[in-house]
Amino acid sequence: MNMEESANTDRTGVAVVGCGYWGVNYLRLLRELPSVGSVFAFDQRPERLAEVGKRFPHVTTTESFEEILDSSAVDAAIVCTPATQHYGVATQLLDAGKHLLVEKPITTDSAEAKLLIAQAASKGLTLMVGHTFLFNAGVSAVKAHVDAGNAGKIHYLYAQRTNLGPIRYDVDALWDLAPHDISIFNHLLEGEPAWVSAVGSRVLGSTRPDVGFVTIGYEGDVVAHIHVSWADPFKVRQAVVVGSEQRIVFDDMNAAAPVTIYEKGIAPGTEDIPTYGEYPLLIRDGDIISPKVTPSEPLKNQTSHFLDVVTNGAEPVSDGTVGLKVVEVMEAIDRSIELLGAPVPVGDTQRAGDESGAPIGVPAVESEG
């Protein structure tokens, strides 16, 4: 059957471009979404397409990218190629009039992300980025607590995303893993960082960092830290929010209890400060709570939302600009690693500075002497 014959005109025809480790997850779950009609698959490796055809009989495979571009049966596409290929593939699909969900990071260059955003806007097409954690029920539960003010004033956040591999060959461990945590932090704080300071290490003997430590500064003196690694014997997927009233832990490895809230806090007292060293602090103890989080598959939530945006015009949770903000942080991380951890302003946050010329929000680096 050719692609036009397999079209189901009532529902949305979706193509998955890039059907490796991650792309096949989309092929599996697209069949479960009622608004999806025909499903198509393209991968530049014919042997991978042959496997896909055997494993997913509901999918129409093609060895021709042009066929995906030209087919009126394809309304929307999901770009799941390696990150360095996202821009080249995505711009052709937008040019051909397809609505797009591009896996994270949207591109590996902020200028390219801006081009995609402008291209989609000029054609009236959806451009979404696959920041899966914005569709994770655990992260949504954390955000609900933060938004309700239960955590109090947010003091700082930190995340650890470590494991032994899996190693990628087009991007380093920071570009592979940190976009998840940056997207979570930007989402929770509803803002974007002013500066980053990062160091990386090549412990596996590769040419790119496989371990990274990143400090991020947000408005209002909120700092965040991210540790990523492909070389850690422990698989950890954790993000922690420390507020004046609560400490909230999101543990993606704990399916039964992904969120734990510690109702402990520490806050400056209101009495007069007697002397240095006797600064009055109020320490409050409290309950430890694991709120019920109804399990759902984040990737399915994300794909279902994409279909809702395409068919019903819903406002995308993770649009191209959300993706761009993450890429701008990644570019600042690259620059800071080159400068051995010196603070670097993020994207357009570089504004008129103080007398020393330092951008607002970027910690000053003391000169010697």
Ligand X SMILES: NC(=O)c1ccc[n+]([C@@H]2O[C@H](COP(=O)([O-])OP(=O)(O)OC[C@H]3O[C@@H](n4cnc5c(N)ncnc54)[C@H](O)[C@@H]3O)[C@@H](O)[C@H]2O)c1
43 makes contact with ligand X (CB under 6 A): yes
Please, which residue, 45 or 153, has the CB nearer to ligand X? 45
DSSP calls for 13-82: EEEEE--STTHHHHHHHHTT-TTEEEEEEE-S-HHHHHHHHHH-TTEEE-S-HHHHHH-TT--EEEE-S-
> At its nearest, how many Å lie between ligand X and the CB of residue 111?
18
Task: Please state, in angstroms and rounded to a whole number, the distance separating the CA atoms of residues 196 and 331.
Answer: 10
Mark 14-24 as b/e (b = at least 16 C-beta within 10 Å).
bbbbbbeebbb
Please, which residue, 223 or 236, has the CB nearer to ligand X? 236
Q: Which range in 21-29, 111-119, 316-324, 340-348 contacts ligand X by CB under 6 A? A: 21-29
Task: Please state, in angstroms and rounded to a whole number, the distance separating the CA atoms of residues 180 and 135.
Answer: 12
> Binding ligand X by CB under 6 A: which of 19, 184, 248, 333?
19
323 makes contact with ligand X (CB under 6 A): no
Q: Which range in 16-24, 68-76, 245-253, 326-334 contacts ligand X by CB under 6 A? A: 16-24
17 makes contact with ligand X (CB under 6 A): yes
> Binding ligand X by CB under 6 A: which of 13, 130, 212, 258?
130
In single-letter form, the type of residue at position 1 comes to: M
22 makes contact with ligand X (CB under 6 A): yes
Please, which residue, 62 or 215, has the CB nearer to ligand X? 62
Q: Which residues contact 307 (CB under 8 A, 6 or more apart)?
A: 12, 14, 33, 35, 36, 76
Please, which residue, 20 or 286, has the CB nearer to ligand X? 20
Task: Please state, in angstroms and rounded to a whole number, the distance separating the CA atoms of residues 92 and 102.
Answer: 13
Task: Please state, in angstroms and rounded to a whole number, the distance separating the CA atoms of residues 216 and 228.
Answer: 14
φ, ψ for residue 222, nearest 5 deg = -90, 120
89 makes contact with ligand X (CB under 6 A): yes
What are the structure tokens assigned to 295, written together? 């399990």
80 makes contact with ligand X (CB under 6 A): yes
16 makes contact with ligand X (CB under 6 A): no
265 makes contact with ligand X (CB under 6 A): no
> At its nearest, how many Å lie between ligand X and the CB of residue 110?
16
184 makes contact with ligand X (CB under 6 A): no
Task: Please state, in angstroms and rounded to a whole number, the distance separating the CA atoms of residues 359 and 345.
Answer: 7
> At its nearest, how many Å lie between ligand X and the CB of residue 358?
34
Number of residues that bind ligand X (CB under 6 A): 22
Q: CA nearest 140: which of 318, 315, 266, 306? A: 318
> At its nearest, how many Å lie between ligand X and the CB of residue 170?
8
Please, which residue, 145 or 208, has the CB nearer to ligand X? 208
Supply the DSSP symbol for 4. T
> Binding ligand X by CB under 6 A: which of 2, 9, 32, 45?
45
Please, which residue, 20 or 280, has the CB nearer to ligand X? 20
In single-letter form, the type of residue at position 327 comes to: V
DSSP β-bridge partners for residue 216: 196, 224
Residue closest to ligand X when measured from CB atoms: 20
What are the structure tokens assigned to 236, written together? 């950890």
Please, which residue, 298 or 343, has the CB nearer to ligand X? 298
> Binding ligand X by CB under 6 A: which of 14, 16, 23, 59?
23
Residues that bind ligand X (CB under 6 A): 17-23, 42-45, 48, 80-83, 85, 89, 103-104, 130, 132
